[in-house]
Structure 1
Amino acid sequence: MIKNYIKIAWRNLVRNKAYATISVIGLALGIACGVLIFTLITYHLSFDTFHKDKDRIYRFYTEFHDQGVDRVGAIPQPMARGYRNDFAFSEKTARYISFNKTLITITKGSEVKKFGEDDGVAFVEPEYFDILNFPSLKGDKKTMLVNPNEALVTEKMAQKYFGNDNPIGKTFKLDNNITVTITGVLQDLPNNTDQKQQIFISYASMEAYAGKGRENNWGGVYSGCQGFTRLKPGVTKAQVETAMLQLVKKNYTGRDLQVWRFKLQPIAEMHFDRELGGYADKSYLWALFFIGVFLIITASVNFINLATAQALNRSKEVGIRKVLGSQPFQLFWQFIAETAIISIIAVGVAIGLSEIALTPLNNLFHARMTFNWAELSAFIVVITIVVVFLSGSYPGLVLARFQPIKALKSKLSQKDVGGFSLRRVLVVTQFTISQVLIIGTIIVVSQLHYSQTADLGFNKNAVVLVPLPQNDKMKMSTMRNRLSEIKGVENVSYCYNPPASRSNSNTGIQYDNRAEDEHWSINTKQADENYISTFGIKLIAGRNFFKGDSVKEFLVNETFVNKLHVKPQDVIGKQMAINGRDYKGTIVGVMKDFYNYSFHSEISPLCVMPNYQSLSTVAVKIDMRNAKATLADIDKIWNQTFPEELYSYQFLDDTIARFYQMDNILLILVEAFAGIAIIIGCLGLYGLVSFMAVRKTKEIGVRKVLGANISSILWLFGKEFSILLLIAFVIASPLAWWAMHNYLKDFQYRISIGPQIFVMSILSTFIIAWITVGYRAAMAALANPVKSLRSE
C-alpha cells in the first residue's frame, strides 16, 4: 500500500514539474532558515553552560542607585577580596582583571618577535581555574599562577608563539613592562564562552604592571575588573546579596551608602545581558525564533495554496478512484505521501543550502558554529513531520471529499476546492509576514543611519587613533612636534581614549568641598590641552585647561551641570575631587554635551582632565585628501619613536561603528529573512497566477474578441491580489509598529516611527507583487485569442 502511494505520488510530481519545483524551492528556503536559526539559537544558549556546578557559579557586578538604577558589569578592585575575607558563603572566589590591546614580545637569541593581541591578557587569582572549567594540558595545577610573573597560555597561543617547542619555562615581555614565565598550558577555550583572553598572568603581578593605588580603591570601577565566585550548596543568591550590604556599610560613607550595591549574576546569563557587557540579547533570539516559525509557516502556506489550486486538475483522477472503490482516507494518505516526498526532497535541498550559508553566518557573528547533528537530526525530523501534516492535511482533505459524479463530468468549481476564500486568507498571511519584516528592515536601517550620521557633539571624521606604549614625556613631546610637521596633519592630541569609547571609567565625585560625595558617578577622560580642538568639542562656559602634567583643572559637561541643578557659569572656579579624592582641582570650563558611548546609553556626567600618566593614545586629525601619504609618515615617525613596539592604528569612526555591531548583524539577518519571505510569497503568487491564467484561458479569449484591452485583462488578475495586499498591510502595520517600538526602546536616542516608513513598505510590496503577477498575467493577456478559444 505504502509502496503504491509513493509510486503514484512520484508520477504525479514528475507530471507536474513546475508545481513540484515551486513547492520544493519554497519549502527548502523555509526549512533552511529554520535550520540556521535553530543552530544560531542553540549556539548562543550554550554559552558558559559547560562549567561544572554552573548553577552555583556567579559573577559580581555593581549597581548604582540614584534617580534610577545603573548597572555595570564590573566591580571595584578590592571588592571580591573583601567578600572573600568577610563571608563564608562561597567555596572559591577569584578576581579577574583584563587589559585589551597588549603587546607580547618574545626574544630568542638575536631574534625578536612582536605580537599585538587585541583580546589582551587577564591577571587572575589561582582560584579562577578552580571555579571555571578550563582544563590544563601542561603544568602543575596546584601551583599555577601562585607566584608573581607567572603565566598560562592556551594551546593555540603556545603554538602561535613557540611553534612545536615546549612552552613551559619560556618567557615573554608584556607591553615592554614586565617579563613573565610560562608555567602552564590550557586547552583551547571552547567556542561558546565569553571569556576571550587567552593569556593569564598571576594576579600577584598586577601592581608591577598597572601601578599602585588600585588595590584599595573602592571609589572607582574599571570595566575590565571582574570577580567570580562558586557558592556552597544550599546558599542562595538572595542570601549573598543581602549580606553584601555589609561590605557597603564597611567601605563607604555618606550618600555612597545608598548609592553602591553589589549583586550576583549567574554565569549562564552573562552572554545575554548587554547592559552588563553581554554579547547578545535574548529578545533578539526570540525575534529570530518567531521569524523562523513565520518563514516555515509561509513556506507551508505557499504549498497549500499551490496544492489546492492544482486540485481541480486532478478531479477526474479522484473521481475514477472513488468509483473504483477508494475510500476518502486512502485519497488523504495518497496526498500526504506526495507532500512527504516533496518535503523530504526540500529537506535535502535545505541541508545543502544551510551548509553553504553557515560560513557567511559564522563570518557575520565572528563565531565558529558547527552543526550538532544529534540535536539537528531530531529538529529536522520534527520539522519535516510538522511541515508534511501542516502542508498536506488540508489539500488531502479537499481531494478526499470530491463528489465522484461532479469530478468525472469536470463540473467541480473553485467552491469545491475551498474557493478563493481559503487562498485569500493564506496569501494575506504570507504577505502580512513579509510586510512585517519589510517594515522592520526599514526601521532598523533608519535607526542605524541616524546613529551613524547624527551630530555626536564632537568630530569623529578623519581622526586616527594610535596606541601609545609609554608615558615618556620627552618622547611624547618630540613625537608631537614631528607629527605636527607632517603635511596633512591638522591637530595632535594625547588622551586615554576618544570622546566616545567602550572603555569607560566611572568614579565618585566631591563637588565644592562638600562633606559628602555626590550620589552619582562621573565618567573620567584623561587628555592633554589639545583634546577639545582635535575632536571639535565646544565650550559653552569658561576656558580650556592649561597645559600640565598633573590634575589641577577640570572640564565638565552640560549633564554634569544639570545634575547639580545650577547654571554653567555657576560651576566655574569651584573645586572638585574624584577617584576617592585622589585627584583634586578647579573646574575651569563647561563643554557642550557629546555622546560618550553609543545611542543605546544616556550621556553621562563627565570630566576631562590633564593626567599624562594615563595617556595611552595619540589622536591625529588629518586631511583625508592626502591620507595615504600622511598615514605612511605617521607610521614612520611612530616606529622611530618606539622601535621596540608594534605599530597599529584605527580611525575613530570605525570604532564608533562597532558600537552598533549587533544592530548591523540584526539588520543583515532581517534583510535576508525578509528577502526570503518575499521570494517564497512571490513563488506562491506566480503559481496561483499561472493557475488562474490556465483556468481563465477561454474567458480571456472571449474578452479580447469583445474588445477588451491589455490593461483591463491585467487588472482582471491584479485587482484580486491588490485587495489582498492591502488587507495584509492593515494587519501587518500594528504588529510591526509594536515589534519595532520595543526594539527602539533599547536606544536612549532614537528615531520616531513615522507614516513614511509604512508608505515605503506598502509601495515596495506592491511593486514586487505586481512584477510577479504582471509578468505571468501579461503572457496570458497577449496570447492569441483564437488559440485561447480553441483551448477548451
Structure 2
Amino acid sequence: MFRSYLLSTIRIMQRNLSYVLLNVFGLTISVASCLMIFLIVRNELGYDSFHHKASRTYRVTMHALDYNPSVSMAIAPALRNDFPELENVSQVWYRNNGMVKIGQQRFPADGFLFADGQFTGIFDYQWLQGNPRTALSEPNTIVLTESIARKYFGGKDPMGQLLNLDNRLDLKVTGLIKDVPGNTHLPFGFLVSFESIRKDLEKGSAMREFYAIMGGNTYIVLPEHYPVAKLESRLPGFITKNWGADIAKEATLPLQPLRDIHFDQRYLNNSVSPTTSRSTYWALAIVALFIIITACINFINLATAQATRRAKEVGVRKVLGANRPQLIRQFLGETAFLVVISLLLGIIIAYLFMPQAVNWLDIKLDHTQIFQPVILCLVLVLGLLIVLLAGLYPAFIQSAFKPVLSLKSSTGNNFRGLTLRKSLVFVQFAASQILIVGTLIVARQMDFFKNQDLGFNKEAVITFDLPDESKQQIIAQQLANDPGIKDLSFSSGAPSYNSSFAPFRAPAIGLTKDDVTEIKFIDEHYTDMFGLRMLAGNKIVKQHENDTTHQLVINETLMHKLGIQNPQDAIGKGFIASGEPVTITGVMQDFQSESKHKKRRPCILLYRADRFFSASVKLQPQHMRETIARIEKVWTGLFPDDLFDYEFIDDHIAQFYKQEQKVYTAFRLFSILAILIGCLGLYGLVAFSAVQRTREVGIRKVLGASIFNIVGLFAKEFMLLIAIAFLVAAPVAYYMMHAWLENFAYHIGINAAIFLAALAVSFIIAGSTIAYQSVKAAVANPLKNLRTE
C-alpha cells in the first residue's frame, strides 16, 4: 500500500512540476528562516541562562539619584560578614581597555575583568586547563580565554606563562577557558585575580566608603529556596549598620536578577553590554510565525487551485472503489512528502547560510546548534504542523468530490469561487503589510539615531586617552602644523562619552533634594571644535591653575531644572554642585551625550586641566589614515610604554544602538523573505487562474478586449484584497510599532505617509507578481486557446 501511494505521489508530482517547485521552494525558505529566527531568539532571550545558578544569582546595584549597576568595593566584604548564609558573594571590576605586554610584543586588551576567587563559583565557563577553585585566589594570576591565549602565545601552551598588564602588573597564567558565549552581559577576554589590585584599592576610599563607586559590580547567590524578598527587607538595616542612617534614607541596594540584566533598561548607559527589550525579540518570533503561516497559505491555495485539475482523477479513483479515508491518506501523504523534502532542504540551507546571517546580525552563535536534539525536535514538530495546517483542508476538499460531477468536469467551476482562498490571501496580504510597516518604521528610527542632530559635530573626529595629562601641551605643539588636522581639544571626554557625575541642588528656588548632573571638564577649543551652540554668556576659555574663580557653563536641561526659562536670566545665578556653591557664566544648547533611549541629562562644563584625560582630534577628510599614523607616531614618542588606541566618535555612538541595529537587520532580512514567499504563492495562484480561464481570455480578446483589460481582469480581485487587508493591518501595525518606539525617550512620529508607502509597496509587489502571468495570458493567440481548451 505504501509503495503504491509513493509511486502515485511521484508520478503526480512529475506531471505538476511547477506546482511542486513553487511549494517546495516556499516551504524550504520558510523552514530555513524559522530555524534561523528560532536560534537567534533563543540565543538573545537566553542571556546568562547557561549558568546553572542563574535563577538564584543577583547583581547588587545602587539606586540613589539614578539606577547604577556599580556599587562600592566595600559592599562585597560587608555582605559576606553580615549575611553568612549567602552561597556566594563575588566582586568584579570591568575594564574596557588596557595593554598586555609579552616580551617586546604589545597587544590591546579590549574588555577584561578583575575577579575574585568566588567568581568562578557563580559563573560557569568551560575550563580547558587549571583549577576553577584556585586559579584566581592568589594575586598576580590570570585566566585566559582560548582565542586570547592563541593571540598571545600562538600554539604554545599558555599555562605558567608570564605577561604584563598596563606596565603595572606581572601576571602568571593559571587557567584556560573556552571563549565566553556571546549571550552574556559580561563579555571578557581574560580574568585577572582581584587580589592583584586589592592592596591598591585599600589605600584609598574604594574599600570603605559607600559612595566610592569605581565601576565595580557585586554578585550574590542565594541559597536554594531562600526568598529574595527576605534579603531585600534586611538591606536597609545593612546599610544603616555599616554606613549610617543618613545614607540608608537616600540610597537603596536593589537586587537585579542575573537573567534580567541584559533586558533592564533602567541601567542602560552604565551596562558593559547594550541592553534591549525582550519584546523586540518576541516581535522577531512573530515574523517567523508570519513566515510559516504564509508558506502554509501558499500550500493550501496552490493545492486547492490544483484540485480542479485532479477532479477527474478523484472521480476515477472513487468509481474504481477508493473510499474517502484512502483518498485523504493519499493527499496527506503527498503533502508529507513535499514537507519532508522541504524540511531537509531547509535544514541544509539554514546550516549553510547561518554563518552569514550571524555576521550580518553581529552575534555570537554556532551554526552547528541546528543539529542539537531540541532543534531537531522543533523541526519535527514544525513539519507535523505544516502537514496538518497545509494538508488537511485540501485533502478533505479533494476527497469530497462526487464522482459524477468530477467526471463531468463541473467541479472546477464551482470550486473556483471558494471564499476560503480569498480569505487566506487576505490574511497573507495583511501579514505582509504589517511587516512592511514595521520595517519602514524601524528603518526611519535607525536613520533618526544616526542622522538626527545630536547638538554637536561628530564628523571625522577621533578620540584617544592620555596616560599622562601633563604632556597635553607637548602633543598640541607637535600636532599644531599637521595639515591633516583641523582642530584639537583636550577634555575629560568627548560629548558622547560620560564618566563624571555629581549631585546638585538649589535651595533658593526650593530644589532641596539632590538631583544628578553630568560634569565635563573641557578646554578652550572644545566648544568650537564640536560646534556646541552658546545661548547666553561666554564659552569656556583657558584658565590658569591658580585662578580662584571658575567659569561654569550649564546646558538647557539643567537651566530648566533650576526653574529658569530664559538663558539670559541664568547668567550670574548660583546653585550647589558637589556640596560647593557655583555661579553660572554661560548656557549652551543641549547635546546628546547618551543614547536616545534616555532623556538628556543636566550637564555642567568646567575648565580644569588636571582632569583632561582624553584628546579629541578633528581630521581633514582627505588622507585620514596617514594623518592618524602621524598622530600615533607623536603619541608613541611621548608614551613609548603604552599602546595607541583611538576610536571614531561615530563608531562609539553606533554602539549605543547595537541591539537596535541587530533587530533592524533581522527584520529587513526575514521580512523580505516573508514577502518573497507570499509572492511565490500569489504567482502560483495567478498562473493557475490563467490556465483555468484560458477560454474566457480567448473569448474576451476575440470580442475586442485589450491587454490592459485582460491584466485588469486578473489584478482587480487581488488589488481589492490588498486594500481590505490594509484596513486591518494598519491599526495592528500602529499598535505594535508604537509600543516599540516607547522604548526610546526620543523617537520618530508614526504618520500617514508610512502607511501610504506600505500600501503602495504592497500594490507594487502584488502588481509585479501578477503582471508576468496576466500579460502572458493576454498576449497569447486567442484562436489557439479556443481550439485547445
- Give TM-score scaled by structure 2 length: 0.92
Instruction: State the partner residue of 1:302.
Output: 298
Pair 1:319-2:322 in alignment: no
- 1:739 deviates by 0.8
Q: Does the 8 Å CA contact 2:110/2:189 hold for their aligned counterparts? A: no
Q: How far does residue 461 in structure 1 lie from its aligned partner after superposition? A: 1.0
Q: Residue 517 of structure 1: CA displacement?
A: 7.3
Tell me how far apart the structure 2 counterparts of residues 408 and 251 of structure 1 sit (CA, whole Å): 92
Shift of residue 441 of structure 1? 0.8
Shift of 1:563: 1.9
Query: 2:554 matched to which residue of 1?
Result: 556
- Do structure 1's residue 643 and structure 2's residue 640 form an aligned pair? yes
Q: Does 1:508 align with 2:503?
A: yes
Change (3 A) 1:234 1:338: closer
Q: For the Cα contact (< 8 Å) 1:178–1:209, is it kept in 2?
A: no
Give the AA of the match of 1:334.
Answer: Q
Letter in 2 for 1:726: A
Which shows bigger deviation, 666-675 or 402-411? Answer: 666-675
Contact 2:537 2:571 in 1 (8 A): no
Maintained 8 Å contact 1:508/1:517: no
Q: For 1:383 and 1:357, how far apart are their aligned partners in 2?
A: 20
Q: Distance in 2 between matches of 1:11 and 1:669?
A: 40
Partner residue, 2:529:
534
Moved more, 639-648 or 584-593: 584-593
Q: What per-residue deviation string (whole Å, max 9, x for no partner) do you get for residues 686-729 of structure 1?
A: 11111111111111111111111111111111111110111111
**Alpha-carbon distance between aligned partners in 1 of 2:714 and 2:682, rounded to the nearest angstrom:** 11
Map of 2:33 onto structure 1: 33
1:76 pairs with 55, 62, 72, which one?
Answer: 72
Matched residue of 1:101: which SS? Answer: strand
CA distance in 2, matches of 1:343, 1:137: 42
| 1:606 and 2:603 matched | yes
Aligned equivalent of 1:723 = 720
**Displacement of 1:305:** 0.4
- Kept in 2, the 8 Å contact 1:436–1:735? The answer is yes
CA contact (8 A) 1:24 1:342 kept: yes
Match of 2:122 among 122, 131, 138: 131
Partner amino acid for 2:207? Answer: E
Equivalent residue number for residue 685 of structure 1: 682
What amino acid does structure 2 have at the position aligned with 1:702? I
1:744 to 741, 746, 756: 741
After TM superposition, give the deviation of residue 606 of structure 1 in Å: 2.1
CA contact (8 A) 1:254 1:517 kept: no
Residue 115 of structure 1 is matched in structure 2 by 107
Rounded Cα–Cα distance in structure 2 between residues aligned with 1:610 and 1:497: 13
Question: CA separation of 1:169/1:548 partners in 2, compared to 1, >3 Å: closer, same or farther?
Answer: farther
CA shift for structure 1 position 459:
0.9
1:523 maps to 518
Deviation for aligned residue 1:602: 0.9
Write the letter of the residue equivalent to 1:360: Q
* Closer/same/farther in 2, CA of residues 168 and 310 from structure 1, 3 Å limit: closer
The whole-number CA distance in structure 1 between the counterparts of 2:185 and 2:153 is 26
Tell me the distance in 2 between the aligned counterparts of 1:298 and 1:486. 60
Q: 1:176 aligns with which of 150, 167, 173?
A: 167
CA contact (8 A) 1:602 1:748 kept: yes
What SS does the corresponding residue of 2:554 show, helix, strand or coil?
strand
**C-alpha separation in 2, matches of 1:727 and 1:240:** 56
Q: 2:205, 2:212 within 8 Å by CA — same for their partners in 1?
A: no
Letter in 2 for 1:652: I
Equivalence map 1:272-351=2 (5 Å):
272-276=263-267, 277=271, 279-351=275-347
CA-to-aligned-CA distance 1:518-568 (integer Å, 9 cap, x gap):
432222333333322221222323332543569955433221222222355
- The aligned residue for residue 490 of structure 2 is 494
Q: CA deviation at 1:136?
A: 4.8
Residues 285/236 of structure 1: CA separation in 2 closer, same or farther (3 Å cut): same
- Indicate the residue corresponding to 2:411 in structure 1: 412
- Conserved in 2, the CA contact under 8 Å of 1:557 and 1:607? yes
Shift of 1:91: 2.3
Partner letter of residue 459 of structure 2?
Answer: N
Q: CA deviation at 1:192?
A: 4.2
Give the structure 1 partner of residue 9 of structure 2: 9
CA-CA distance at 1:615 after TM superposition: 3.5
Paired position in structure 2 for 1:766: 763
1:124 is matched by which residue type in structure 2? A
Secondary structure of the equivalent of 2:641? coil
Match of 2:227 in 1: 236
Deviation of 1:358 (Å): 0.6
Deviation, structure 1 residue 103: 1.1
SS at match of 2:48: coil
Mapped contact 1:255–1:519 kept (Cα < 8 A): no
Matches within 5 A, 1:130-169: 130-134=121-125, 136-139=127-130, 143-169=134-160
The alpha carbon displacement at 1:320 in A equals 0.7
Distance 1:538 1:248, change over 3 A: farther
Q: What is the deviation of 1:140?
A: 5.6
Written as runs of structure 1 = structure 2, the 5 A alignment for 1:161-240 is 161-206=152-197, 212-219=204-211, 221-222=213-214, 224-240=215-231
- Contact 2:509–2:562 under 8 Å retained in 1: no
Residue 616 (structure 1) aligned to one of 613, 622, 627: 613
Change (3 A) 1:140 1:421: closer
Classify 1:621/1:188 alpha carbon distance in 2 versus 1 (closer, same or farther; 3 Å).
Answer: closer
What secondary structure is seen at the aligned counterpart in 2 of 1:313? coil
Q: Does the 8 A contact of 1:541 with 1:589 survive in 2? A: yes
Structure 2: how far apart are the matches of 1:216 and 1:388?
Answer: 66
Report the AA paired with residue 697 of structure 1.
Answer: T
Q: How far does the alpha carbon of each residue in 1:481-511 deviate from its partner, in whole angstroms, 9 at most, with x for none? A: 222221132221123322113x544443365
Q: How far apart are residue 338 of structure 1 and its match? A: 0.6
The alpha-carbon deviation at position 395 of structure 1 amounts to 0.5
- Pair 1:557–1:518, CA change in 2 (3 A): farther
How many Å separate the matches in 2 of 1:727 and 1:20? 30
3-state SS in 2 of match to 1:519: strand
Query: Aligned partners of 1:139 and 1:313: how far apart in 2?
Result: 70
Deviations 1:400-424 (A, max 9, x none): 110110101111134346x241111
Question: Comparing 602-611 with 211-220, which one deviates more in the overlay?
Answer: 211-220
Deviation at 1:144, TM superposition (A): 4.0
1:479 equivalent to 2:475? Answer: yes
Other structure's SS at 1:316 match:
helix
CA distance in 1, matches of 2:749, 2:179: 46
SS in structure 2 at match of 1:100: strand
CA contact (8 A) 2:144 2:190 kept: yes
Q: How does 1:294-443 map to 2 (within 5 A)?
A: 294-363=290-359, 364-370=361-367, 371=369, 372-416=371-415, 419-443=417-441
1:344 CA drift (Å): 0.8
CA deviations over 1:207-254 (Å, ceiling 9, x no partner): 6778834334433655x4211011123322112222212244457789
- DSSP 3-state at the match of 1:643: coil
- Deviation per residue, 1:104-143 (Å, 9 max, x gap): 1122xxxx11111222x22222222222223655556555
SS in 2 for 1:413: helix
- Partners of 2:610 and 2:242 in 1: how far apart? 27
Check conservation: 1:718, 1:770, Cα contact below 8 A. Answer: yes
Deviations 1:149-191 (A, max 9, x none): 3333334333322334454444333222333343444454345
Aligned partners of 2:571 and 2:239: how far apart in 1? 30
Aligned to 1:600, the other structure's residue is in SS state coil
- Helix, strand or coil: the match of 1:90? coil
1:734 paired to 2:741: no
Percent identity between the two aligned chains = 33
